[in-house]
Amino acid sequence: MRFDIISVLPGLLESPFAHSILQRAQKKGISEIVVHNLRDYATNKQKSVDDYPYGGGSGMVMTIPPFAACIEKLKSEREYDEIIFMSPDGETLNQAIANQLSIKKNIIILCGHYKGIDQRIRDIYVTREISIGDYVLSGGELPAAVLVDAVVRLIPGVLSDETSALSDSFQDDLLDAPVYTRPADWNGHKVPDILLGGNTPEIEKWRHEQAIERTKARRPDLLNRGE
């Protein structure tokens, strides 16, 4: 699976993709993550990629030509399943969206800055807009890293235990059950007896019940999604 990320600040994405699971996914050849510097596609002497908004107002708007040039170059090299714009007014990222994207082959991600990008880029090229929450960040790079991480970890072969991702929070619209490891008794705080008994069906039943109770207490909205 390949991600092409278009950014005016590619340095912000160096660390997230150079460590841990995302690094291993790339080394295994399971995922390819390529970051493109938008300024490389600017044609003016200053390599600027923004201009004043029509109609006045504060802030600057990212211009069409650099984005269009980069996108068209990438599209000439391969077909893309999605061109995603990370935007606070997009659909909110959740596990279902990550699952959907994990079976795609090639994805372009656009990172905005300043007051946003010219609407015509969104109208002409973007197939999907995704937000990571109801707040505004300085740019789309961190949301892009969050999206890539959420998707790549679901690809078979990325995690050493491939069943781990299937039991994560939100996979069944439930939060995960409490988890424990050694020691079984730490300063009088004990692991629930059922987890020590080795009865797998009863343990799974307990975990499911705990997941429901935790979801009811912390995220009851998840339980109402199907209503």
The Cα 10–Cα 157 span in angstroms is 27
Q: Which residue has the tokens 């004990």?
A: 190
| DSSP structure string for 192-225 | -GGGGS--HHHHHHHHHHHHHHHHHHH-HHHHTT
- The reply, when asked if residue 226 is annotated as ligand binding, is no
- The reply, when asked if residue 132 is annotated as ligand binding, is yes
Q: Which domains does the chain have, with CATH numbers?
A: 2-152 (3.40.1280.10), 169-223 (1.10.1270.20)
pLDDT at residue 166, as a whole number: 58
- The reply, when asked if residue 198 is annotated as ligand binding, is no
pLDDT at 227 over 90: no
Pairing mode of beta strands 2-7, 189-190: unpaired
pLDDT at residue 142, as a whole number: 97
**φ/ψ of residue 36, rounded to 5:** -110, 130
Strands annotated E in 48-126: 50-51, 61-62, 82-92, 106-111
- The reply, when asked if residue 135 is annotated as ligand binding, is yes
pLDDT at residue 169, as a whole number: 58
- The reply, when asked if residue 136 is annotated as ligand binding, is yes
- Interval 42-77: pLDDT, tens: 998 899 999 999 999 999 999 999 999 999 999 999
